[in-house]
A and B are shown apart, each in its own frame.
Chain A
């Protein structure tokens, strides 16, 4: 046997969801569930933010629509003591109410009346306040940068945690365009911060269910829980990277619901997968308690923290970022003054972007994707929290 084939075969053998030779896409046979079931996504927010629920329906695997919103429902938050707060319908399955003032020690539930006449309630849940996040820390190694969260609850009463985060990062285009061509007035204008196209920001929300528990520890401490990893060379750390984390404290039932959902959808593909299983939601149809409902309603006061990693001075050495425009062929050219309307018409997106003026007559232009960072998907509006 050739020596080179040995590693290959062993990798294959030990393949745990990463080796392409042993992992192939699979298209399941066409299956159909008996109906489209209600999905409730959100939580009762006892903090300063709004309470937002997204109601949708399950869909068949073969359906092409991404989300089938549940429209025109009536949604309430109710306390066990009889107080009722109605959420406003913001359309597209979104129901929200600004800041709720929840009573400590009181329990709350969600109550939904669908347009189809079905009535759903969740169980009454206590309001759990998350302890503050002690710190967000990051560490660079050969694979990239890992961000972790640290927290503790001196009262030892939180125990079960969930996190969600939003990543935002700044990236830059190849050329900095100081001027724009005002097509209407046929003149050069200086770009200000609101229409600069050199720096852009992109955001991405967490998609994984991030859960941690200190239930097995003698103190209610979470240290170094890994939230996310940014692989080496990623654009996210090409300039400045920010991570905003929301921390939830959960009841044990909520924790086991999310944990099971995570095991069923995220931790698959090992040699020893558990059977897929369904943990019942705390929501049910009042008329038919056997009807499946998805989602778990909790009431929580979150705590938040934000982390910045400023990598533009090479804080993480040898990051290895290859700019997205590296193979765009970004060269600039000088065009005669009378060609400017041809190259930069007043339509968006432009083919070219004006980057400057030469010492002689004419203009210097470059393909728009090399100078206009918005064409790479971000926004040129600097977030207000950005340094």
Chain B
């Protein structure tokens, strides 16, 4: 029977489970009027001492009307199941099994009692006792058995108890982050953290937990909550071939969650999106979401709701990635094989995050297979990758190690055009993630990431940049209501430009930024209505803004080093999610951040009210090491509220303020590898942003279709722009070349998402505007005379379609369509003759637009057969990027050629680009 039930729950075909009998003797009195079957079961179980077994999904819709007094269980069941397709049966141990049979039986068959005698062991199996907080948690993998949490007592005490535990993948033992755990009555829920851990406080008594996560099969757990305790839940992969399975991917959270503007995509979905060169790409997936735009294809920088590219906090297992791109942005820094999912916060940003004012992109890796050693790999036209994972020693320690590299050089060498033979480009990256579980209360997580990029484009100048990140997290569970994570980490980014050819002028230019992070984050769940997050975070930044050194013995270059700068950012935060009523929830968070610009440093003081130029320097102050030269501080408010209109619709409102103490200096429209960063200092204010947004969420077709409308209005201050002809590299007084800009952005975002079924995907449309102006009174000359003008990434209309159709579990096709208004550009309005050639006079900035962008990509994913005993499992992905071959302009530019100016439209991809990649798993 156990085995049969397991089959029922793992593969819930419309199976007919068998029927047995009920325990005799006790009389029942039940009075129900059109109530869920579960209510009937509850009442019957409490009176007859019997246990019901059934597939709750099947009986979800069954409503029971029954009036019995002093009747036997059979009579009650007869009445309850009358006119339904369900049958019942019971055994001598008081187990009652409710099942369904075809065709619908209008009357019960005559001999429906079948007595079975099972061994005591098997009979008591379903009554497995889950440990209380002191004992190790037992693994639950069945939906229909009752887990008793806490020490069993005959009478239920009133009040609440807290249930905590991990949600894991049954196949690999990996933690599942972001899984939603909810209870219908009272309607409370929670979401697992990045470690797959959850804590839920509920009234004592019987509950049904619903657990859902993207790409996993929704599951349920029956619990009897007597006291605080633990429950580990294992989830099954969503098995796509079986018709009866409905994929549920936290599908109610859009409506139920309090947060707004959160988009979560798991790696399965990311891998379905066709991309150039066939390598699944996190950032490309982000770009398909409403409210996210980019200036062009050769940029992995992205803009969220009118924010600039440096206003996104990109976290890779809590490590800050400063340059998320490889090879001119055609690849993102993240190896898709180690990633579990990504989350983008674009509206209500949890108070836990700070330091950037537009968005947080949280990229989470997998923790590695706990059960066996395995690997995945892939071979593509430009890249190859291999990832290994498995337990180390025991299942207490797991590792995942991923590596990627390119071999694009051979292609460059084969190009007929002479110019490209002197070019080279390549990258590699390496990931290592370790998890060690000391015991149920203490777990250690280690992350290390390294990437290397190099390129040389038909010149003697070579470019290299590296990311280095590492961190160690210790998670300690104090008790079911409180746990904390302590993090120590180090992030580093560096680039080097070197010229070798001309001995005299050979130089090496380098820039680097590093940060040391220390954080303690706590989550406390005192009652089912409260969920508190609080913590303290500290980041020490150290920058070498530029070093120019001779390269080689002949070089006459005089070393020029811009003074290193340091800053310390501290933050305290406290946030609470409060359920005021069943329908109304609010989260309120406050983050107080304090930034200190530290010595040793020399700081120029400028004459007040005069344009900030070298000539207006009043004096230069020198500060000693560790001296707090200037501190900026302020509160950041994160508020959001949700009001449920019905079970499937809600309205949300949020208000956020954010501060940012670090600025990227770049006067190119795309992110370029040679962009540098700058800390706020006495002359450069921190950036600030405020956003208010309102959304309406409605789900259809039993939550399988999600729709949402969000509107927002956002203001930004102290964003840096540059004077004409500004020198950003090796500038010892950068404040004389930058201008404060303020701006505002507004927009509406529409999204329809279907996450389940053979056909899944989303359609989104966003109308958004971003306007900025230079209103710095001490800037001197102002762009566009200080009037508002569209930002570089202002693209009013953006529409995306991401669709996937699964013909069978081995074959699916994906289609991706993108349309957007062309980005603004500055066009020449007049031409003149000077110094032997035509020259151009440009209009006010960004007054024109390049032609609109439209692209369609198509891919087919073919899996090899799924026989379990195979050396490797193979999968092919082939497709065409930009299938229409449209030459989408990346930029429009004018250039002087032999004395005459010509206008050109530059497209990154001039034709349809086919790709094929081979992926394997073992």
Instruction: Say yes or no: B836 contacts A279, CB within 8 Å.
Output: no
Which parts of A199-255 form the interface with B (CB within 8 Å)? 205-209, 214, 216-219, 221, 223-224
A window 7-26: CB within 8 A of B: 7-19, 21-26
Q: Does B411 contact A6, Cβ atoms closer than 8 Å?
A: yes
Within the complex, what minimum Cβ distance (angstroms) separates B520 from chain A?
40
Nearest B residue to A34 via CB reads B829
> A287 an interface residue at 8 Å Cβ cutoff?
no
Query: Chain B residues near A60 (CB, 8 Å)?
Result: 829-831
Q: How far, in angstroms, from A224 to B243 measured CA to CA in the complex?
A: 73
Interface string of B453-472 (1 = CB under 8 A from A): 00001100000000000000
Q: Do the beta carbons of B845 and A22 come within 8 Å of each other?
A: no
B window 878-922: CB within 8 A of A:
887, 889-896, 898-899, 901-911, 913-916
**Chain A: minimal CB distance from B849 (Å):** 10
Contact A266 B834 (CB under 8 A): no
The stretch of A84-92, A123-131, A257-265, A378-386 in contact with B is A257-265
Complex Cα distance A256/B843, Å?
21
| Residue A311 at the chain B interface, CB threshold 8 Å | no
Q: What A residues does B557 contact at CB under 8 A? A: 216-218
Asked if A67 is an interface residue, CB under 8 A from chain B, the answer is yes
The answer to whether A271 touches B670 (Cβ under 8 A) is yes
A275 CB-CB contact with B under 8 Å = yes
The answer to whether A21 and B911 touch across the interface, beta carbons within 8 angstroms, is: yes
Q: Main secondary structure on chain A at its contact with chain B?
A: loop
Report A-chain residues with C-beta under 8 Å of the C-beta of B829: 31-33, 60-61
Most chain A beta-carbon contacts within 10 A, residue among B502, B724, B781, B916: B724
In the assembled complex, the Cα of A292 lies from the Cα of B842 at a distance in Å of: 11
Choose among B412, B831, B902 the residue with the greatest number of A CB atoms under 10 Å from its CB. Answer: B831
Contact A59–B831 (Cβ < 8 Å): yes
Question: With a CB–CB cut-off of 8 A, which chain B residues contact A214?
Answer: 556
* B608 CB to nearest chain A CB (Å): 23
B906 and A14 contacting across the interface, CB-CB below 8 Å: no
Give the docked Cα–Cα distance between A15 and B843 (Å). 27
A58 close to B830 (CB less than 8 A): yes
With CB as the reference atom, state the residue of chain A lying closest to B421. A142
Contact of B423 among A14, A19, A280 (CB under 8 A): A14
Taking the closest CB of chain A, its distance from the CB of B552, in whole angstroms, is: 13
- Tell me whether B831 and A61 are in contact (CB under 8 A): yes
Which residues of the partner chain A approach B840 to less than 8 Å between Cβ atoms? 264-265, 276
Residues 142-155 of A, flagged 1 when their CB comes within 8 A of B and 0 if not, give 11000000000000
B617 at the interface (CB under 8 A from A): no
- Whether the pair B887, A24 counts as a contact (CB closer than 8 A) is yes
Interface string of B819-838 (1 = CB under 8 A from A): 00000001111111111111
Task: Return the contact of B906 from the options A31, A205, A264, A269 (Cβ within 8 A).
Answer: A269
Q: Smallest CB-CB separation from B412: which chain A residue?
A: A10
Q: Are B907 and A205 in contact (CB under 8 A)?
A: no
B631 touches A (CB below 8 Å): no
Chain A residues, Cβ within 8 Å of B891: 269, 273
CB pair B418–A142 under 8 Å, yes or no, is yes
Chain B residues lying within 8 Å of A56, measured Cβ to Cβ, are: 832-833
Which chain B residues (408-458) contact chain A, with CB distance < 8 Å?
Answer: 408, 411-412, 414-420, 423, 425, 457-458
Residues of A within 8 A of B892 (CB): 26, 28
Out of B381, B507, B907, B914, name the residue touching A216 (CB < 8 Å).
Answer: B507
* A18 in contact with B725 (CB, 8 Å): no
The chain A residue with its CB closest to the CB of B420 is: A11
| Chain B CB within 8 A of A328 CB | no
- A278 lies within 8 A of chain B by Cβ: yes
Cβ of A97 within 8 Å of any chain B Cβ, yes or no, is no
Tell me, in angstroms, the Cα distance from A26 to B890 when the chains sit together: 12
Chain B neighbourhood of A266, CB < 8 A: 895-896
Is the Cβ of A19 less than 8 Å from the Cβ of B910?
yes
The answer to whether A5 has its CB under 8 Å from any CB of chain B is yes
Q: A273 — which chain B residues lie within 8 A by C-beta?
A: 668-669, 891, 893
Complex interface residues of chain B between 771 and 823 (CB less than 8 A to chain A): 781, 792
Looking at the complex, which one of B505, B725, B845 makes contact with A259 (CB distance below 8 Å)?
B725
Q: How far is the CA of A148 from the CA of B902 in the complex (A)?
A: 27
Tell me whether A356 is interfacial, beta carbon within 8 Å.
Answer: no
Contact B415 A11 (CB under 8 A): yes
Q: Closest chain B residue to A265 by CB distance?
A: B896
Q: How far does the Cβ of B417 sit from chain A's closest Cβ, in whole Å?
A: 7
A6 nearest in chain B by CB position = B411
Q: How far is the CA of A31 from the CA of B505 in the complex (A)?
A: 42
Are the C-beta atoms of A31 and B904 separated by less than 8 Å?
no
- The reply to whether the CB of B558 lies closer than 8 angstroms to some CB of chain A is yes
Least Cβ–Cβ distance between A277 and chain B, in angstroms: 4
Whether A66 and B833, one on each chain, are in contact in the complex, defined by CB atoms closer than 8 angstroms, is yes
A203 to chain B, nearest CB (A): 13
Please tell me if B548 contacts chain A, counting CB pairs below 8 Å: yes
Contacting pair A294 B834 (CB below 8 A): yes
Nearest-neighbor residue (CB-CB) of B548 within chain A: A216
Q: How many residues of B contact A (CB 8 A)?
A: 86
Taken together as a complex, chains A and B put the C-alpha atoms of A16 and B899 apart, in Å, by 20
Give the CA-CA distance A268 to B839 in the complex, in Å.
13
Closest to B501 in A: A224
Question: Once bound together, how far apart are the Cα atoms of A57 and B905, in whole Å?
Answer: 28
How many angstroms between the C-alpha atoms of A260 and B724 in the bound complex? 8
B352 to chain A minimum Cβ distance, whole angstroms, is 34
Rounded to whole angstroms, the CA-CA distance of A13 and B910 in the bound complex is 8
Q: Which residues of B contact A61 (CB under 8 A)?
A: 828-831
Please determine whether A41 and B833 come into contact, CB atoms closer than 8 angstroms: yes
User: A207 to chain B: which residues have CB within 8 Å?
Assistant: 836-837, 896, 898-899
Report how far A37 CA is from B420 CA in the complex, Å.
42
- Shortest Cβ distance from B101 into chain A, in angstroms? 55
User: Is residue A357 contacting chain B, with contact meaning CB distance below 8 A?
Assistant: no
CB-based contact B903/A26 at 8 Å: yes
- Tell me if B896 and A21 are in contact (CB < 8 A): no
Q: How far is the CA of A258 from the CA of B902 in the complex (A)?
A: 20
Asked if B384 is at the interface of the complex by the 8 Å CB criterion, the answer is: no
For the complex, what is the distance from the CA of A67 to the CA of B828, rounded to whole Å?
17
Q: Which of B382, B667, B890 contacts A275 (CB 8 A)?
A: B667
Q: Does A272 contact B (CB under 8 A)?
A: yes
Distance between Cα atoms of A32 and B298 in the complex (Å) = 32
A164 CB within 8 Å of chain B: yes
Residue with the highest number of chain A CB atoms closer than 10 Å, among B411, B412, B503, B889: B411
Q: Which residues of A contact B842 (CB under 8 A)?
A: 264, 276-278
* A268–B895 CB distance below 8 A: yes
Determine which of A13, A265, A295 lies in contact with B901 in the assembled complex, contact meaning CB atoms within 8 Å. Answer: A265
CB within 8 Å for A208 and B837 given contacts A14-B328, A32-B829, A143-B418: yes
Identify A29's interface contact among B505, B826, B848, B902, CB under 8 A.
B848
Interface residues as binary, B644-676 with A (CB distance below 8 Å gives 1, 0 otherwise)? 000000000000000000000001111010100
Q: Mark B383-416, 1 if CB is under 8 A from A, else 0.
A: 0000000000000000000000000100110111
Is the pair B381, A1 in contact by a Cβ cutoff of 8 Å? Answer: yes
Contacts of B502 in A (CB 8 A): 223-224
A274 CB-CB contact with B under 8 Å: yes
Q: How far is the CB of A293 from chain B (nearest CB, A)?
A: 11
Known: A19-B910, A21-B910. A29 touches B827 (CB 8 A): yes
Residues on the A chain within 8 Å of B848, using CB: 28-29, 31
> Assuming A57-B832, A269-B895, what are 14 further A-B pairs, CB within 8 angstroms?
A1-B381, A1-B915, A5-B914, A6-B414, A9-B909, A13-B908, A17-B906, A22-B909, A60-B831, A207-B899, A208-B837, A258-B835, A273-B669, A292-B841
Q: Which residues of B contact A (CB under 8 A)?
A: 298, 328, 330, 381-382, 408, 411-412, 414-420, 423, 425, 457-458, 502-505, 507, 548, 556-558, 560, 667-670, 672, 674, 722, 724-725, 781, 792, 826-843, 845, 848, 887, 889-896, 898-899, 901-911, 913-916
Closest 8 CB pairs of A and B: A277-B724, A21-B910, A272-B672, A207-B899, A33-B830, A218-B558, A22-B910, A58-B830
Please list 15 pairs of residues, one from A and one from B, whose beta carbons are closer than 8 Å in the complex, sorted by A's number. Answer: A1-B381, A15-B910, A16-B458, A17-B906, A22-B908, A24-B907, A25-B905, A28-B828, A54-B833, A60-B831, A66-B833, A207-B836, A216-B507, A273-B891, A276-B826
